């Protein structure tokens, strides 16, 4: 581990790498940083608001808490399985989708990932901008612009700075949440809220969907932040470090959100940040809490901005056949994505809660099939045996378009449509299920099973072992490019 720390100390503060493979000589970091990064990314205001939606949209406190926890565990397990791929492959998450979709075909989920980054960045900028505005006594739009500028700077620095911010945010978030929970428990009759039990299947599944979608939405970029870990890092330990950090942080935030929304009633909508801070106090205490809220959003919003750069770079590199991105182009991509997100935050600041709930639920229809296909292929079909150099060549083993993966993905999206219940779209079978949205469950199970059966029969030739790029001075466990074995083995 000391060698890993030495590498980290010698690594430039501004990241040189983008979507290219991370050589073993540049690997560094510890699993603790994975835990703190995802703990800090989840101990924040948007997670609070997400948990609050379970009550705002009709659920009671008791069953909402249980539903959120179950969804958290399911979704957290999915995202942590993606995280465990990072040290093994040394690549950003969405690059690996080229195995299942083809070098060009991977653009399909990548475009949707970019939309997700923009949406989450916009929501984060809005809530953090409100906190900055209250802290500095300026208009909300000024706070949003200032926050977006800070995200731009952090994203330019890249991987090391993001992890450093995560460590600070985790400590600050824990302190702020302990204080807010203390004030909440000391000043209100929580037992009365828990005693009001009115089970509704629709509301219970809504709570599960909110937390599951929150976790699954991290899947397309979670490996981006574990890819620098040394290859010898245990996948099981990576799974637990990332999963526990994310689930503990998100559940703590959402539990607080449930109680806050139940106490606030109609006062919560459009006044989320100010109401939460008012629970903690006024004056200097309020100022400290506004700072904690704003800083808490820095981590996850920087993750979104960094991920958006990686996604755009992956899309363009698929057609150019080159994974190297210059520093100037990198800056341009980041500037565009941060600017678009800030503009959406400014335009949607008066109807955030309603639009955000629809957004995160609708996302499930597009990301659960992708997660199912990617995880089944990596863990059950190819069993980590990827040909990494071939991921940049549409004429190599993965081709330009993988019709098997693409068709199952499209089917996985379409089969959910009758069961979706959002303001964007309501499926034909929703009313018969008591307005219950079960689309995300179908979107995970059906594509996973279908891809497993189909890939066992028709998957292309799989390398005998993981093929890595040639690294000078490193004996890689590689093999001749033509040495393959059938998928059935």
Fill in the DSSP letter of residue 470: -
386 vs 378: CA distance, rounded Å: 8
348 vs 333: CA distance, rounded Å: 23
Ordered by where they begin, the domains of the chain are 2-362 (1.10.4160.10)
166 vs 16: CA distance, rounded Å: 20
Tell how far CA 26 is from the center of its chain: 25
Instruction: Give residue for tokens 């205490």.
Output: 285
Structure tokens at 476: 């890689």
Neighbouring-strand partners of residue 462: 485
154 φ/ψ sector (left φ>0, alpha ψ -120 to 50, else beta):
alpha
Neighbouring-strand partners of residue 467: 387
Write out the chain's pLDDT in tens, 489 residues: 455 554 555 555 666 666 778 888 888 888 999 999 899 889 888 888 889 888 888 888 999 999 999 999 999 999 999 999 999 999 888 888 999 999 999 888 888 888 777 777 887 788 788 778 888 888 888 888 998 898 888 888 776 788 788 888 888 888 888 888 888 878 777 888 888 788 888 889 889 988 998 899 888 889 988 988 999 999 999 999 999 999 999 999 999 889 888 887 666 665 667 777 777 777 788 888 878 777 777 877 888 777 777 777 788 777 776 656 666 777 787 888 888 888 888 877 666 555 665 665 677 788 899 999 999 999 999 998 999 989 888 888 999 999 999 999 999 999 999 988 877 778 888 887 777 778 889 999 999 999 999 999 887 778 989 888 876 555 444 443 334 333 333
Contact 243, 80 (CB under 8 A): yes
If DSSP states are collapsed to H, E and C, what string results for 141-187?
Answer: HHHHHHHHHHHHHHHHHCHHHHHHHHHHHHHHHHHHHHHHHHHHHHH
154 vs 295: CA distance, rounded Å: 12
391 vs 400: CA distance, rounded Å: 10
248 vs 68, 70, 173, 416, 420, CA distance in Å? 12, 12, 12, 29, 28
Q: Buried b / exposed e across 441-459, counting CB within 10 Å, b at 16+?
A: bbbbebbbebbbeebeeeb
């Amino acid at each position: 581990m000391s060698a890993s720390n030495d590498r980290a100390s010698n690594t430039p503060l501004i990241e040189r790498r983008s979507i290219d493979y991370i050589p073993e000589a540049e690997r560094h970091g510890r699993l603790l940083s994975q835990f703190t990064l995802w703990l800090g990314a989840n101990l924040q205001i948007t997670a609070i608001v997400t948990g609050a939606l379970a009550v705002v949209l009709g659920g009671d406190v008791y069953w909402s808490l249980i539903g959120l926890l179950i969804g958290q565990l399911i979704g957290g397990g999915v995202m942590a399985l993606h995280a465990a791929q990072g040290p093994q492959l040394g690549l950003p998450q969405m690059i690996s989708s080229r195995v299942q979709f083809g070098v060009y075909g991977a653009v399909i989920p990548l475009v949707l990932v970019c939309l997700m980054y923009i949406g989450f960045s916009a929501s984060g900028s809005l809530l953090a901008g409100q906190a900055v505005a209250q802290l500095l006594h300026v208009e909300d739009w000024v706070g949003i612009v200032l926050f977006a500028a800070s995200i731009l700077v952090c994203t330019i620095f890249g991987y090391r700075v993001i992890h450093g911010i995560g460590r600070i945010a985790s400590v600050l978030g824990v302190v702020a949440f302990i204080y807010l929970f203390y004030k909440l428990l000391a000043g209100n009759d929580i037992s009365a809220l828990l005693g009001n039990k009115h089970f509704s299947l629709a509301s219970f599944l809504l709570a599960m969907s909110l937390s599951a979608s929150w976790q699954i939405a991290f899947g397309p970029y979670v490996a981006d932040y574990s890819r620098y870990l040394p290859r010898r890092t245990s996948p099981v330990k990576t799974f637990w470090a990332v999963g526990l950090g994310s689930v503990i942080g998100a559940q703590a935030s959402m539990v607080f959100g449930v109680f806050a929304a139940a106490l606030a009633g109609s006062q919560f909508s459009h006044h989320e940040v100010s109401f939460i801070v008012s629970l903690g106090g006024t004056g200097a205490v309020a100022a400290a809490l506004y700072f904690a809220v704003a800083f808490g959003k820095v981590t996850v919003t920087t993750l979104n901005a960094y991920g958006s750069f990686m996604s755009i770079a992956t899309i363009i590199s698929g057609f150019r056949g080159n994974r190297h991105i210059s520093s100037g182009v990198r800056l341009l991509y980041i500037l565009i994505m941060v600017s678009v997100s800030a503009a959406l935050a400014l335009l949607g600041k008066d109807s955030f809660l309603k639009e955000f709930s629809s957004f995160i639920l609708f996302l499930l229809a597009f990301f659960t099939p992708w997660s199912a296909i990617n995880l089944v292929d990596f863990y059950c079909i190819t069993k980590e045996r990827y040909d990494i150099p071939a991921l940049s060549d549409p004429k190599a083993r993965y081709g330009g378009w993988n019709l098997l993966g693409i068709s199952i993905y499209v089917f996985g999206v379409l089969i959910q449509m009758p069961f979706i219940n959002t303001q964007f779209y309501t499926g034909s079978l929703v009313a018969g299920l008591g307005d219950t949205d079960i689309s995300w469950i179908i979107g995970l199970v059906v594509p996973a099973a279908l891809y497993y059966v189909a890939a066992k029969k028709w998957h292309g030739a799989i390398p005998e072992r993981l093929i890595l790029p040639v690294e000078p001075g490193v004996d890689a466990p590689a093999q001749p490019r033509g040495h393959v074995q059938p998928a059935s083995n």
